[in-house]
Amino acid sequence: MPSTAALDTQGVLPFGTADEVVAETKRIADIFSENGGYTLMASQGFESDVPLENIEAMYSIR
């Protein structure tokens, strides 16, 4: 179980590649989708250092 329950908004999201964002989002969704489901949403506003392609990559996971 990871130490956090959300996508890293200070590391992966602003500084990772779109592929890294996709992989991390899938990893988190897989962990938390067991036994019911997981709702993916932003827990806060996106900071200006987050590339748009990373936000799109995060939300592309189904």
Residue 22 domain flag: yes
The pair of three-digit structure tokens given for residue 60, joined into one six-digit string: 């592309």
How many domains would you assign to the chain? 1
User: What integer is the mean pLDDT of 15-40?
Assistant: 84
On the CB side of 17, CA atoms within 13 Å amount to: 3
**Could you give the CA distance from residue 6 to residue 12 in angstroms, rounded to a whole number?**
11
pTM of the model: 0.70
Residue 24 domain flag: yes
Residue 50 domain flag: no
Residue 21 domain flag: yes
Residue 11 domain flag: yes
More confidently predicted of 5 and 62: 62
Q: Residue 59's pLDDT is what?
A: 87
pLDDT in tens, 31-43: 877 776 666 665 6
Cα 38–chain centre separation: 12
The pair of three-digit structure tokens given for residue 17, joined into one six-digit string: 């590649």
Residue 27 domain flag: yes
Dihedral over Cα of 25, 28, 34, 38: its sign: negative
